């Protein structure tokens, strides 16, 4: 598995290391707050699809290099996608879908920004440890975009409808302490203790019986089967239409230029 990642174009942007059965997956674009490019998404998807093969991996830990966990999709790519016919979130949805069903337990170590896709990346892990510096936000309304229905489901599943409404409608960030209060994260620690706490938890899980862990995780996922079967084609089509609106172009430009957007509703 390591060789496959090292041979890819993303070898320097996605670091993979197996520490005694704990697979550490590190997003390595600290200068861009670990924003995800299309190539990084493809590499993550390929990794998550194959990580269940064999017995070398007991637990998967996902983290970001530098001061931030992940700032979501790369805005420069989003702007280019808009110019070529619209912004599609299908690729990132595919990554989250595959991540959620990784057979092994998964843990997100979150420091600094976990924005939009970065926030959802952490939510699709089984467990989350947040540093005191963590900030979780879903500012899609500030970009003129709509969060796809399956990702809304994940938020509601995690923090309920009340706080999902607050997070999506305001676009305001939740601090690590607030996220812990809401049950969004399992542990809140000092930044200096994040890696130690995360890998100690991973080691304690890795010491358990792997067949038992995988079976229990499948059972938990099965309880959500009915929710996954909800017909949301109309909502997905609406999200696609909104993704092609003039407001998206304005929202992305405004965020990149660090100014308030001027939305017109079309």
- DSSP H or E run through 61: strand 59-64
**pTM of the predicted model as reported, rounded to 2 decimal places:** 0.86
pLDDT tens for each residue of 119-153: 999 999 999 999 999 999 999 999 899 999 999 99
In the prediction, which pLDDT does 237 show?
Answer: 81
Average pLDDT of span 163-178: 98
Nearest by Cα to 120 from 108, 132, 105: 108
pLDDT tens for each residue of 220-229: 999 987 777 7
pLDDT tens for each residue of 34-53: 999 999 999 999 999 999 98
Give the pair of three-digit tokens for residue 187: 């542990």
pLDDT band of 2, cuts 50, 70, 90: very low
Considering the domain delimited by 2-191+207-227, tell me its CATH architecture: Alpha-Beta Complex (3.90)
pLDDT tens for each residue of 69-111: 999 999 888 777 666 655 556 789 999 999 999 999 999 999 9
Nearest by Cα to 44 from 69, 27, 19, 68: 27
């Amino acid at each position: 598995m390591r060789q496959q990642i090292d041979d890819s174009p993303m070898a320097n942007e996605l670091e993979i290391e197996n520490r005694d059965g704990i697979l550490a997956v590190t997003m390595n674009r600290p200068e861009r707050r670990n924003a995800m490019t299309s190539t990084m998404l493809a590499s993550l998807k390929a990794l998550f699809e194959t990580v269940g093969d064999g017995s070398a991996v007991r637990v998967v830990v996902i983290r970001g290099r530098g001061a931030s966990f992940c700032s979501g999709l790369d805005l420069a790519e989003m702007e280019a996608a808009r110019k070529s016919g619209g912004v599609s979130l299908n690729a990132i949805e595919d990554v989250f879908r595959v991540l959620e069903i990784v057979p092994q337990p998964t843990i997100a170590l979150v420091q600094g920004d976990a924005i939009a896709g970065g926030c959802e990346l952490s939510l699709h892990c089984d467990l989350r440890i947040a540093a005191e510096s963590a900030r979780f936000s879903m500012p899609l309304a500030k970009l003129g975009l709509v969060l796809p229905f399956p990702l809304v489901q994940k938020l509601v599943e995690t923090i309920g409808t009340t706080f999902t409404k607050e997070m999506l409608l305001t676009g305001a960030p939740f601090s690590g302490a607030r996220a812990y209060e809401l049950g969004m994260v399992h542990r809140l620690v000092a930044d200096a203790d994040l890696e130690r706490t995360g890998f100690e938890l991973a080691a304690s899980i890795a010491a358990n019986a792997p067949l038992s862990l995988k079976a229990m995780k499948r059972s938990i996922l099965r309880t959500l089967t009915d929710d996954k079967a909800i017909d949301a084609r109309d909502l997905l089509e609406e999200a696609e239409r909104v993704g092609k609106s003039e407001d998206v172009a304005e929202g992305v430009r405004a965020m990149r230029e660090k100014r308030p957007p001027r939305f017109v509703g079309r």
